[in-house]
Chain A
Amino acid sequence: MTGTPGLVPAAGAGSPSGPLAAIPAGYKFGFLFVAGIGVYLLSDLVAQIVVFAVAVLAVLLTRVPVISLLRMTTGLLIIVGVVFVTTGLKTSWAAATTACLRLLTLCLFAYAISLTTRFSEMLALFEAALRPTRRLGLNPEQMSLALAMTVRFIPEIRNRYLEIREAQFARGLQNSPVAVIVPLIVRTLEAAQEISAAIDARCYDSEPPTDRRAVR
């Protein structure tokens, strides 16, 4: 329904745009699954370069500014660089090139998909994929909510960590991990209790809704 791109969204970014945004999330993630197998079946270097070029094109089609894309992929490029050198030194440079092309291709496809898929679409897909687990006694709605809340609260917990660290620094406790971790755990547990109350207050029911007339 709403949402910014899923895995690596820029802070405050708007809705996903570009031609890939119009493709349903199920098709995109299905493609990523097939591509994950396909790139490892391709052994011809030329074919690998062509697929890599398609992945680059897919990322450019997200309409995210190139500067932002470069910022997002810097970490990835460093890791791939390390893989290239170590693989090249241990095996051969041809093998290193193939391994890195595969890795980059898959990561770029993943970027393109996550940048053009709203989080709510991903969540709906995740929930749909987990639906069969209901037969095993699991609850896909609860698992989906847990995933959403994990994404939601990672930045909050990071903020709490930074606040506590700053406070401990102010007290001269620079080198005491315990002085940071213990209050962080306590504050996180306190927040969890409040969040649980908030979810209850918002009529959360993990069972699938049946009565649509209930909304006034």
Chain B
Amino acid sequence: MPPRTIDTRTISLDHVTVNRAGNDVLRDITLQLNERRIAIIGLNGSGKSTLVRLLNALVLPTTGEVRVGDLVTARDAKQIRRQVGFVFQNPDNQIVMPIVGDDIAFGLKNLGLRGAQLSDRVDEILARLGVAHLRDRESHTLSGGEKQMIALASVLVMNPSTIVFDEPTTMLDLRNRRRLQQQIDRLDQRAVLVTHDLDMIADYERTIVVDDGAVAFDGAPADALDFYQELCG
């Protein structure tokens, strides 16, 4: 595994609007994401998930532009997806292969890796997350916490410079939530975390509150949480 480095590339959104079926899901969002730990919070349906899906070209802007360094999502989606990994809320939808080891290898195979190099990378990442014993297990037999770890491993193995987490703890119990949080805290990569778990983001460098398709607050977590509490009434 090559040495991991913290990405210094800025992710920027420039006057981004996303329109679906005539409705603006996001409206005129302009952001520069430079920090290592960024949290995104907001009410259900506020546009948080759409916002983070813009970051690795899963959603393209209707107007405006999203850039990762020099790359533009509308033009360079494949390269951007190598830079920006994505951990989904429901790992059942993220794990696509029947066997854990094959699932971890899936993304690397897509990049052309084969043989011992591929196998070593899979072993290394599973060991790093403390789940090496799951390598030969069938994906559907894993517990929720194990599935989320495998989903994280499948993203980490690609060695992205930024990892987006879209409500990764929603389906986890307290123990697994803490385990995942520890893993996120240990990451060298930039992490962008969408969550309703406000405890998780206390130490984050920046928190963005999304409301009704727009950035309602952008600042330190403590202030953002005060704002969010008010917003929730």
B106 partner residues in chain A, CB cutoff 8 A: 202, 204
Q: Is the CB of A152 within 8 A of B107?
A: no
A149 partner residues in chain B, CB cutoff 8 A: 96-97
Of all chain B residues, which has the CB nearest A159?
Answer: B140
What CA separation (Å) do A91 and B141 show in the bound complex? 46
What CA separation (Å) do A159 and B77 show in the bound complex? 34
Q: Given the known A-B contacts A12-B141, A203-B158, are A151 and B110 also in contact in the complex, defined by CB atoms under 8 Å?
A: no
Number of interface residues of B (CB under 8 A): 46
Question: Which listed residue (B2, B77, B78, B97) contacts A148, Cβ 8 A?
Answer: B97
Interface residue B98 (Cβ < 8 Å from any Cβ of A): yes
Of all chain B residues, which has the CB nearest A154?
Answer: B140
Of all chain A residues, which has the CB nearest B4?
Answer: A216
Q: Is the CB of B86 within 8 A of A201?
A: yes
What CA separation (Å) do A12 and B109 show in the bound complex? 24
Of all chain B residues, which has the CB nearest A155?
Answer: B140
Interface string of B138-163 (1 = CB under 8 A from A): 11110000000000001100110000
A200 partner residues in chain B, CB cutoff 8 A: 58, 77, 81
B158 partner residues in chain A, CB cutoff 8 A: 202-203
Question: Which listed residue (A191, A197, A209) contacts B110, Cβ 8 A?
Answer: A209
Interface residue B197 (Cβ < 8 Å from any Cβ of A): no
Q: Is the CB of B94 within 8 A of A2?
A: no
Number of contact residues on A: which range applies? Answer: 35 or more
Interface residue B31 (Cβ < 8 Å from any Cβ of A): no
A151 partner residues in chain B, CB cutoff 8 A: 98
Q: Is the CB of B98 within 8 A of A148?
A: yes
A156 partner residues in chain B, CB cutoff 8 A: 92, 140
B159 partner residues in chain A, CB cutoff 8 A: 216
Q: Which of B82-124 contact A (CB under 8 A)?
A: 82, 85-86, 88, 90, 92-102, 105-113, 118-119, 122
Pick from A15, A120, A155, A202 the residue with the most CB of B within 10 Å: A202
Q: Is the CB of A214 within 8 A of B93?
A: no
Interface residue A195 (Cβ < 8 Å from any Cβ of B): yes
What CA separation (Å) do A4 and B138 show in the bound complex? 7
Of all chain B residues, which has the CB nearest A205?
Answer: B110
Interface residue B137 (Cβ < 8 Å from any Cβ of A): yes
Question: Which listed residue (B92, B100, B110, B137) contacts A202, Cβ 8 A?
Answer: B110
B88 partner residues in chain A, CB cutoff 8 A: 194, 197-198, 201
Question: Which listed residue (B85, B109, B122, B137) contacts A201, Cβ 8 A?
Answer: B85
Q: Given the known A-B contacts A203-B82, A204-B110, A210-B112, are A195 and B101 also in contact in the complex, defined by CB atoms under 8 Å?
A: no
B82 partner residues in chain A, CB cutoff 8 A: 203, 214, 216
Q: Given the known A-B contacts A203-B111, A214-B82, are A194 and B100 also in contact in the complex, defined by CB atoms under 8 Å?
A: no
Of all chain A residues, which has the CB nearest B103?
Answer: A152
Interface residue B27 (Cβ < 8 Å from any Cβ of A): no
A211 partner residues in chain B, CB cutoff 8 A: 112
CB distance from A36 to the nearest CB of B (A): 25
Of all chain B residues, which has the CB nearest A160?
Answer: B92
A195 partner residues in chain B, CB cutoff 8 A: 93-94, 96
Interface residue B136 (Cβ < 8 Å from any Cβ of A): yes
CB distance from A78 to the nearest CB of B (A): 26
B81 partner residues in chain A, CB cutoff 8 A: 200-203
Q: Is the CB of B98 within 8 A of A119?
A: yes
Interface residue A212 (Cβ < 8 Å from any Cβ of B): yes
Can you report 5 A-B residue pairs in the complex whose CB atoms are below 8 A from each other? A1-B122, A151-B98, A202-B110, A203-B82, A205-B110
**What is the interface of chain A, defined by CB distance below 8 A to chain B?**
1-4, 9, 11-15, 118-120, 123, 145, 148-149, 151-152, 155-156, 159, 191, 194-195, 197-205, 209-212, 214-216
**What is the interface of chain B, defined by CB distance below 8 A to chain A?**
2, 53, 56, 58, 77-78, 81-82, 85-86, 88, 90, 92-102, 105-113, 118-119, 122, 135-141, 154-155, 158-159
Known: A3-B101, A152-B98, A194-B88. 9 other contacts (CB 8 A): A1-B101, A1-B118, A118-B99, A152-B96, A191-B93, A209-B109, A214-B82, A214-B112, A216-B159
